[in-house]
Chain A
Amino acid sequence: MSASFEKGYNALKEQVDSTVASFFSSCVHCGMCAEACLFYTETGAPERTPINKTEPLRRVWEQEYTLFGRIGKLFGLGKKVTDEMMAEWETLVYDSCTLCGRCSMVCPVGNDIAGMIRKTREGMAAAGHAPDGLIGATKRAVTIGSPMGVKLPALQAQIAHVEKDTGMTIPVDVEGADYMLLLSSMEIMNFPEFIEAVAKIFKHAGVSWTISSEAFEATNSGIQIGVSDIAAELVQRIVDAAAKLKVKNVISPECGHAYMAIRWEGPNLIGKAFDFKVVHILELLDDLRQQGRLKVSGRLSQRLTYHDPCQISRRGGVIDEPRNLINMFADNFTEMPDTGKMNWCCGAGGGVSSNERADEIRLQVFQRKKDQLDAIHVDGMISACSNCRIHLEDGLEEYHMDMPVLSLTETLAENLEDN
C-alpha cells in the first residue's frame, strides 16, 4: 500500500456521486447527528460530530464538483484539503467512528453520514492517514489470509478439537454442499464453540454444509480501513472458493462487518453479481425455524436482552430474525431502550477494535451501553457478532457490571432437542 496525498485526493474524488452531492448540498448544520453518536454524547467533543468527520470529502466535492466551488478555487477561495488537514482528521475518521450508522437514521435532511465517512476512509487510507493497527490487520489479511494472522493449521486444530469433543464430523471442502460457512478469526481463536454450535444445529436440522480450506475467513479489513482494491481481493477469494466447491449459498457468521463486506459491498467491490446467495447465519436459522426444522428442549427463564450489531441490524437488515430465534428459547426477553435499527453501537466496530490508539475512547463511550443496560436490569445479553461480544465483555468488566454475553447461535444450539 504505497500512499500519497495525491492518491488520497483522487480516491476522494472517485467517491463523489449523486448521493454524496445531494447529502452535502442538504446539510444545514443543525447538529442533530452529534446527539446520535456515542462518540459525541459520551465525550461532549463538538469536533466528533459525525458530519464533521466527512469534511475532507466535503471539501473535495465542493472544489471539484460544484460550479461555484470551482470558480472559487480559481481565485484561491474556499477551503482546500491538504495533507496536514487529512492527518488531523485521522483520529476523527477512524478512532471516533464505528460506521454504526445511527447518525444516518437521525439526520433530518436524510444524509447517510456513515456512508460518507466510509467513503472518506477511502481517501484517508490512500493518503496514508490510517491507523497502524488497521494497516497491520489489512496487511495480514492479504498476505496470511486473516487479520489476526490465523492460518489454516490453526483452523484445522480447532476443528480437530471440536470433532474429538463432540464426535461430530466438521465437513471441509465438500463439493456440492448447499451451504459454505465462513468464520471470523475471532471465532476461530476465541470462540471455537461457535463452530461446534453450527455443526450441532445443522446436524439437528439436516443442513448440507461445508467449510472451505481456501477461503474460510469472513472478515474484511479492506472495508474497515477503506481500501476497496484489497476489500475486493478478499471478497474474490470467497467467490472463487464458492465456485470451486459449487455451493449455492455462502453463510456469513456472527460478525457485523463481515456481513456488510460479503452481503452488501461484495458484489459491488468485484463489479459482478454473485452466482450464489449470501445469507447471514441468523437469517438461515430463522428460515429453519419457520420450516419447523428446529426443536428446542428447554426454555430459559433469565431476563435476557439482545444487543443489535450495527452492521447486521441497522446497516444490514437482519432485525426480526434474531428476535424470532430468541423467543424460541427465552421466556423473559426484554428490549433495551433504543433498540433494533436505533440501537447504540457497542463502541468498537468499524475497525476501532483493531486500532490500539482507540482503546481508551472505546471504553469511555461504553457508558452509553451501560446506561441502556442499567435501564432494564437483565441477567444476560445475547448478541450475534464476536467483535461486539469481546468489546461488550471488556466494557462490562471496565464498568464492574456482571452479566454473561452470549452468542445467539451458541445459545440456540445449547437449547436444541437432542436428535
Chain B
Amino acid sequence: MSEIELLNWARGPGFQIASVIFVAGILIRLVEILMLGRKANLAEAKGSAMSSGLRTIITRTVPDASTYKRSVFTVTSGYVFHIGLFITIFLYAPHILLFKDVLGFGWPALPTSVIDATAVVTIISLVAVLVHRLKDPVKRFLSTFDDYLGWFVTILPLVTGYIAFHRIGMPAPSLIAIHILSVELLMIVFPFTKLMHAFTLFLARYYNGAISGYRGVQS
C-alpha cells in the first residue's frame, strides 16, 4: 500500500468504520444506562430536583475553595488539558473544515500559532497527569488498564498531529495518515473506556444535583 493509498483508506473506509463504532458504541452505552430507569421518589420534595440537577451540570465544573486547595494539581491540570483538547480539536482550521464536511456548517478558527502552542501545553500537561497518576498513592491505587489506555489514545492524536503539522521525519501524506489513524483508534476505544465520561458526566451531574435538590440542598 502506497502512502497515498494509506491516506485514502484512513480518510475513507477507516474513518467510516471508526465513526460507526464511535457513534453506535456511545448510543449503546447511553441506552443501556437510561433503560435501567429509576424509581419515582415518594418522599415529599423540599426543593426542585430538575432545576437543581440542571444547575449542578454547570456548577460542578468549579470546585469550592477548600476542595481546590486539597486537589490543586488534579483540578488545575484537569482544566489545562481539557481546555487544550477542546482548542486543538475544535478550533484548528483544517479540523473545522472536516466538521463542516460532516455537519454542514463551520465556525471561526484560531491562528495556527495559537493551536501549535496549545498542543504543546496540552501534551506537557497530559505527561504531567500520567506522572502524577503513577506517583500519587490514591491515583495509583485506583488506576486500572482502562486509565492508561484512555490516556494513551488521548495523547496519541496530539503527538501525531503535532508531528504532522511540523512535518517531522516522513512525507506529509504518511504523517497525516498516521494522525488520522490515531484519531480513529481514539474513536474506536472511546465508548468502551472511561472516556465515556465526556457524555455520561451530564447524566451523573444531573442525578447528583437532582438527588440533593429534591432535599433542598444545592450540590
Contact = CB atoms under 8 A, between A and B. Distances in A.
A44 B141 CA distance: 12
A19 B32 contact: no
A317 B217 contact: yes
B205 A25 contact: no
B216 A317 contact: yes
Would you call the interface of chain B mostly helix, strand, loop, or mixed?
helix
Interface in B14-66: 28-29, 32-39, 41-44, 46-47, 56-57, 60-61, 63-64, 66
A110 B56 contact: yes
A109 interface: yes
Contact of A30 (B34, B78, B216, B217): B78
A52 B138 CA distance: 10
B138 A49 contact: yes
B2 interface: no
A21 interface: yes
B155 to A, nearest CB: 15
B139 A110 contact: no
B66 to A, nearest CB: 5
Nearest to B206: A110
Q: Which of under 10, 10 to 19, 20 to 34, or 35 or more describes the interface residues of A?
A: 35 or more
Given A22-B207, A34-B138, A268-B39, 13 more contacts: A17-B36, A18-B35, A22-B200, A22-B203, A25-B203, A30-B74, A46-B142, A66-B29, A108-B78, A112-B211, A273-B44, A313-B217, A337-B66
Interface centre among A27, A35, A109, A315 (most CB of B within 10 A): A109
B212 to A, nearest CB: 8
B33 to A, nearest CB: 4
Given A32-B74, A49-B138, A21 B32 contact: yes
B33 A22 contact: yes
A27 to B, nearest CB: 7
Interface in A108-127: 108-112, 115
Contacts of A151: none
A17 B32 CA distance: 10
A314 interface: yes
Contact of A342 (B64, B192, B196): B64
Contact of A32 (B56, B57, B71, B141): B71
Interface of B: 28-29, 32-39, 41-44, 46-47, 56-57, 60-61, 63-64, 66-67, 70-71, 74-75, 78, 136-144, 147, 192, 194, 196-197, 200-201, 203-209, 211-212, 215-219
A100 to B, nearest CB: 13
Given A52-B141, A104-B208, A110-B56, A317 B215 contact: yes
A200 interface: no
A106 B211 contact: no
B70 A35 contact: yes
Contact of A104 (B74, B142, B219): B219
Nearest to B62: A108
A109 B147 contact: no
15 contacts: A16-B36, A18-B36, A19-B38, A22-B207, A26-B201, A29-B194, A31-B74, A32-B71, A49-B138, A109-B200, A266-B43, A267-B44, A317-B47, A338-B66, A341-B219
A193 B80 CA distance: 56
Q: Give the top 7 A-B pairs by smallest Cβ distance, nearest first.
A: A110-B205, A317-B216, A46-B141, A267-B42, A22-B203, A31-B138, A110-B208
Contact of A22 (B137, B140, B204, B216): B204
A267 B43 contact: yes
A106 B67 contact: yes
B208 A108 contact: no
A35 B39 CA distance: 31
Contact of A26 (B43, B57, B63, B197): B197
B142 A67 contact: no
Interface string A260-279: 00011111100111100110
